[in-house]
Amino acid sequence: MASAKKELMVDNNPAASPAATIEQLLGPDSPSNWGKWGPDDEVGSLNYLGPAEILRAVSAVRSGEVFTLQVPIGDPDRSDPVWPGRTPAVRTQVMDEGFFARGEEPEPSDGHHWADDKIEMFTQGSTQYDALAHYWYGDQVWNGYPADSTIGALSRASVLPIGERGVVGRGVLIDIARARGKDVLDSGERISLDDLLAAADRQGTVIEPRDILIIRTGWIGSYYRTAGEDFYRDWNEPGLVYSPELVKWFQTMEIPNLVTDTIANELSFYPGGLQLPLHCALMRNLGVTFTELCRLDDLATACADDQRWTFLYAAAPLKIVGGSGAPVNPLVIR
C-alpha cells in the first residue's frame, strides 16, 4: 500500500516541455493506427468493438442498474459548462399554451394545442463525442485524410460514422479522485500512466484489452457546486498528461474510447504553451474516440459501494452530417 501511495503522488509543477509544437512533442515515430482498418476508415479504434466485445460487456451486468451520463442541456437555473470561448446552449419556446391565450395562434377546429421549442448550441457544448477529424496537427487528420477535408464541413471522419455505428462495450471506471482521497482534483492536477494503473490496482480493478476507459476526476460534478466565476478562475482542467509510454499503452491495450468528466479529456494546458496533445496522439494518430463532459459521480458512488467497477457501456451520438462533434447521453448498465 505504501508504494501505491507513492505512485499516486501528483507533480503539479512540471518543467516546461522543450517542444514548441505538438508535432515536435510527438515526434516522427508516434504510434499510429493509420491504415489499420483500410484507407477509408472513419471510426478508428471503435473497430475493436465487435460482437465478442459486446457479449463480454453484457456479461458484466449484474444488478440491472441504469445510469445516464449526460449533463443537462439548457438548464435555466445553471448555465451549461462549456470550454472557454464557447457559449452555453439556449433553448427557446416557440409554441405553448400562451400563444393561444394571447390570440397569437388561431384555434384549431379540432381543439388540439401543442408545445414546440428549438435549441441553439455548440455541437460540443454538452456531453458529446468528438469526431476523429476534430483536432489535428500538420496537414492531415485521422487516417491521413487531408486537413482541407474539414473546410465547410467534415467530409471525412466526421461524427456521423460514429453515430451510425454506435458504441457498445465493456466500460471500466477508474476513480482517480477517490484514489487520492478527494471529491475533485485540483486545477492543473496531472494523471500519468503510473497514476492510472495504481488507482486501478487500489480499486482491485484490472483494465482489460478493448475496455472503454472511463476516468473520474470529480471536475464536472464540482461545477454544479461552484459559482461559475470560481469554476473558470485560473482554469486548467485536471487530467491525463502526455507521455510516449501512455500513448503506447493505449495502442497496445487497443482502447477504443476514452470517457471522462472533464470538458476536454486531458490536462488543458502545458507549461510552454502546448494545448491538448493527447487529442492528437490518441484521436488523430490512434483513432481513439473521445467522450467528454460526462457526469460520473452517481456511477462512481454505486461502483464504490459494491466494488464493481465494470459494466456495459452504450452510446450513440447524434448523426450530424459533417459535424465535428455531437451531443450524446451515454448509458451504463451494471
Residue 154 has a pLDDT of 98
pLDDT, average across residues 298-309 = 98
| pLDDT band at residue 17 under the 50/70/90 scheme | low
Q: pLDDT by residue (tens digit) across 87-143?
A: 999 999 999 999 999 999 999 999 999 999 999 999 999 999 999 999 999 999 999
Answer whether residue 6 shows pLDDT above 70.
no
Q: Please work out, in degrees rounded to the nearest 5, the angle formed at the alpha carbon of residue 300 by the alpha carbons of 294 and 304.
A: 170
178: left (phi over 0), alpha (psi -120 to 50) or beta: alpha
Report the share of the chain in percent with pLDDT over 90.
Answer: 88
Residue 78 has a pLDDT of 87
- Mean pLDDT over all residues of the chain? 93
Answer whether residue 30 shows pLDDT above 80.
yes
pLDDT, average across residues 67-80 = 93
> What sign results for the dihedral spanned by CA atoms 289, 293, 298, 301?
positive
Residue 229 has a pLDDT of 84
Answer whether residue 8 shows pLDDT above 80.
no
Q: pLDDT by residue (tens digit) across 214-241?
A: 999 999 999 999 887 888 888 899 999 9
Residue 234 has a pLDDT of 86
> What sign results for the dihedral spanned by CA atoms 94, 96, 99, 100?
positive
Gyration radius of the chain over CA positions: 21
Residue 228 has a pLDDT of 77
SS3 of residue 116 by DSSP: strand
Domains and CATH numbers, the chain: 2-7+30-76+122-333 (3.50.30.50), 90-120 (no CATH)
Residues 6+ apart with CB under 8 A from 262: 217, 219, 220, 237, 238, 239, 292, 293
Torsion of CA 77, 83, 85, 90, to 10 degrees: -30
For 179, 183, 205, the CA distances from 129, given in Å and listed in that order, are: 27, 25, 26
Cβ contact 174:204 at 8 Å: no
Higher pLDDT residue, 54 or 2?
Answer: 54
Q: What pTM was computed for the model?
A: 0.93
The number of beta carbons lying within 10 Å of the beta carbon of residue 275 is 13
Q: pLDDT by residue (tens digit) across 237-293?
A: 999 999 999 999 999 999 999 999 999 999 999 988 899 999 999 999 999 999 999
pLDDT, average across residues 175-192 = 97
